[in-house]
Amino acid sequence: MPELDFQVTGVEPRANGFTPLLLFQLEIANQPPTEPIQSVLLQAQIQIRSPQRHYTAREREKLGELFGPPSEWGRTLRNRLWTIAHATIGAFSGSTRGQLPVPCSYDLNIAATRYCYALEDGEVPLLFLFSGTVFYTNAEGRLQAQQISWNKEALYAMPVRLWKEMMNSHFPNSAWLYLHRDVFDRLCAYKREAGLATWEQTIERLLPAVNERAEVVA
């Protein structure tokens, strides 16, 4: 019966993709190495290991929306689910390499995106929890199926720089803002009535009023 082990050895963005996509490089080894594997339907739950890195003062301020004030991080700073990724691995014996594609969003309402956006440098500590089905040929030449053991996992530290460069290549000098429809309609009406050409001009027109209120409260 096959016993697979996994390592994440690298990551790179897909070149010239229409949307942001990270390709994590996998090394997969089987015991016994002579047993022929026909294919692997692989699933990986990817978690961000938030407690496993240091944060600067600016990063702690930005991460307050996710974890609350730093005084509470002993209770709130926990692993966060990033995504669940899938891949199909072809036939091999002994060991092989593969890629795990992970689509990325620049929607700042998504917790993983806000986390990566808040970081200035360093690495994003990741935990990969593997599962799925292995198809193999037994000694009689019959096709068999077996579930991947629940305790198969791997650690990887993804450079923050790589994530930011990928997002900047797809959305240069931009950020996405999600609004409820009724709020957008009001903002659109304000833009139209004020005769403003762009959304940047609209937001800039509104920001002085917001800053003035903040100064009064302070």
How many CB atoms lie under 10 A from the CB of residue 60? Answer: 15
Residues near 119 by Cβ (< 8 Å), separated by ≥ 6? 55, 59, 160
Peptide bond into 13 cis (omega under 30): no
How many CB atoms lie under 10 A from the CB of residue 44? Answer: 24
Domain boundaries, the chain: 3-170, 181-217
Alpha-carbon dihedral sign for residues 74, 77, 78, 79: negative
pLDDT, greater one: 109 or 12: 12
Smallest CA-to-CA distance from 151 within 33, 28, 3 is with 3
Smallest CA-to-CA distance from 84 within 132, 50, 49 is with 132
What confidence score (pLDDT) does residue 27 get? Answer: 98
What confidence score (pLDDT) does residue 217 get? Answer: 47
Q: What is the CATH number of domain 3-170?
A: 2.60.40
Q: What is the mean pLDDT of residues 196-206?
A: 86
pLDDT digits (tens, 9 = 90+) for 44-100: 999 999 999 999 999 999 999 899 999 999 999 999 999 999 999 999 999 999 999
